[in-house]
A and B are shown apart, each in its own frame.
Chain A
Amino acid sequence: MKKSLVVLLVVLLALSASLFAQGTSEASKGYDIYVYNSKGENATQFAAMCAAYEAETGVKVKNFSIGSGQDHMETLRSEMNSRNKPTVFSIQGIKELAEWSQGGFALDLNTVTTGDFGKMVSAIPQSLRLTNDGKTSYGVPYNVEGYGYIVDRGILAELFGPSNVDAVTADIKSATYPEWEALVKALDAWITSAKATTVTLSGKTYTLASSKGSLTSNLNGVFAVMGAEKWTYGDHFINVALNAVFTNELDANKADAAKVQSAKGALLAYAKALDLKTSYLAGLKGKAVRGQDFVSSANFGYDQVVQIFADNKAIFFKQGNWAFGNIAGVNAEQAQRLEFLPVKMPFQNQDIKRNDGMTVAMLNSSIPVFVPNFYAVNAMASKAEQQKAFDFLYWMNNSKTGKKFITEDFAFIPYNADPKTTTVPNSLGNSIIGYIASGHIIGAPYNGSPASWSGDTVGLRVMENYLTKKTWTNDDYSAIADYAIQKWIEMK
């Protein structure tokens, strides 16, 4: 009996192994191309676009979008292990590329030199390419996104007078850090008791209103900050500082220890700017201070802080255009009045380690605009299937129908958009297009930092040790910068 059980188990094992093993049967697929979309937010619209393509060309597209907020990597990996691998899949930046290029899944699109798709690939600007050596190009950008301090123009109108909104917005954009710091302090004093005080922005003098209006009477702090969300100050805020040192993701990815150490000055500026930002906090129930409540997700999680901002309790809110839907969900009226302002940090000239002409003034008047996600073509797919994928991607980014889906239905800013003629149906997207048009954009070098360095290591440290602490000293600034540098070198 025992012996037969062993034999049986071995047989069963062999059976399950053969079930798991991969085979290839082209005939049974039931589709021409399989597109994997890792952005769950536009699942319905994406499916509609694929249906439109099928109706126009007769090519059968199987599309799959993950659930919103779901881990896209686990699902994609299991699809890659299955028999029917996606023909087109997504790669979120250089960190994810490591896996797909080493595994031989990502096709270098520079090898495609013929046809419309070849032309389209060679026209992708170098700064928007997905590459791990500067020569290859592994993806077609989904879109571009950006972030900065979101401000409600309605609040600015009450603070500075309705006729001054455009002028004051332009002058805050180009203001220096000391002017910005003075503005923050003046606004904080104004929220406590409204008085007609003066502030200087880009050398021009403005006077604050002598009394509060219908929106500004709700204010209880200057900044709405997600203390419990490590990625907001770990990934995105620190990225502004990294722009002083690294030209792009690849530059950061290839940096040696000496280059990383040279980021000390920029990281000090990061710590100081973060101190200023978290010293004038708005809360759900009145002005807030740094401390244990500030890092608790029940008080300062994503939804709570969107609520703080949408209820007009804060003036500035560092977030990206992806938060538009969240804000509109709470306060649809306010969502129409939003605009981005640059995140400013107290950089010195010697903190800039780039040799492409980047200046402190340029850094402090620009917002990060970057490609969050790329469409990649599966190198394992047959040549015929790859060709169909090329046609699909070309149609999506160049045909009238495809472009309409991207701008109107996904509310994406197309990577190949002409900033002079493109508008999207949301205020934050249009604000980004404005920055692109004026050339005041910086990149996302934090994506080139070691895996889990930014949010899960530096962000975590800042949250655990500093956001819980009421006052920060010069030693604290130094400690934050040193920890970030030490961990980067360690984790590389």
Chain B
Amino acid sequence: MNIYKKWFWPLVMPSLLLFAMVILYPFIMGMVNSFLAWRGTYYFDPETGTRATNMANSFVGLDNYKEAFRDKRFVSSLVYTVKYTFIAVIMVNVAALALALMVTKITRSSGLYRTIFFLPNMLGGLALGFIWQFIFQIIFTDMLFSPDALHIPFFRYMTQDSTKALFALALLNTWQYAGYMMIIYVAGLNNISSDYYEAASIDGSSYWHSFFKITIPMLMPSFTIVFFMTLANSFKLLDQNVALTDGEFGTRMLAMQILRTIKDTSPPNYGKAQAQAVIFFVLVAVITLTQVAITKKKELEM
């Protein structure tokens, strides 16, 4: 008997059980709850106006979904999240690719640079948010870009304006993720054989010509992964949003909107929050799957 076959189930069972307990079961319950008048600790019966005696009496159909779309805050946070994602994906990718090209080009202490660029990723989102709050409020506003120094008004009070805050959040996230994404790009770059560049240079190709005709097409598998991760991460951004701006000045993003729905309502409308979470899930799934399908097509088979 094959050793893999014999040990397959014993080895897979623990993770499968955990998966069922902490992902699958809550996910299915969440779907169910989005159709019910769930209040967190009990189910509400809209007919009697009291606690429901069983879950079926609490069924409200699509009401939670309708209410979510009628909520101005939900719609504006959706728009804001899309804008943010657009900016963040571009910024993270440009920075990560540039870093990757740099650390693969240099010969001395490239390991040290990789470690330094990767380090911010080790910090938690909340800690990062508070660190950058200090940077934006004190270092940017009062020191670097104050009227006595460089005086660039755009970089002052970045957390107090919804448009500026988009860039503040994207800057923070680029700092956090660029190093991580760089590692993926480095792996991709190392996979490209130097033969191609050699042949191209003999044919008289310039650096940029080689970059667009060899590097980019050959890196497509890395793009697929990095785009997927940055898209999904940007959509799901929460900790940094809470710590940096707390949604003030119109900077509430989708994940935070779901979290705060419970505080915005009394008794807490967990059903509506759950409906928003389901919409959120579908949205992220559709966008990222579309992206993966598109970038996959562009990948070259060697």
Binding site for B on A (CB under 8 A): 8-9, 12-13, 15-17, 19-20, 73, 77, 80-81, 95-96, 98-99, 102-105, 292-293, 295-299, 450-452, 456, 460, 463-464, 468
Contacts and interface: CB of A to CB of B under 8 A. Distances in A.
Contacts of B266: 95-96, 98-99, 450-451
Nearest to B9: A8
Contact of A103 (B42, B156, B159, B265): B42
A99 B248 contact: no
Contacts, number: 87
B249 interface: yes
A9 B18 CA distance: 11
Counting contact residues on chain B (CB < 8 A from A), the size range is 20 to 34
Contacts of B267: 98-99, 102-103
B120 interface: no
Contacts of A102: 39, 42, 44, 50-51, 267
Contact of A16 (B20, B39, B141): B20
A297 B41 contact: no
A353 B167 CA distance: 48
Contacts of A468: 160
A351 to B, nearest CB: 28
Contacts of B214: none
Given A13-B25, A16-B25, A452-B263, A298 B134 contact: yes
B28 interface: yes
Nearest to A104: B51
B21 interface: yes
A296 B160 contact: yes
Chain A contact residues, majority secondary structure: helix
A17 B55 CA distance: 15
A99 B160 contact: no
Contact of A81 (B20, B41, B134): B41
Nearest to A457: B264
A19 B28 CA distance: 15
B232 to A, nearest CB: 24
Contacts of B134: 298
B138 A104 contact: no
A73 to B, nearest CB: 8
Contacts of A297: 133, 137
Nearest to B24: A13
A297 B134 CA distance: 9
Q: Which of A298, A299, A450 has the most CB of B within 10 A?
A: A298
B42 A13 contact: no
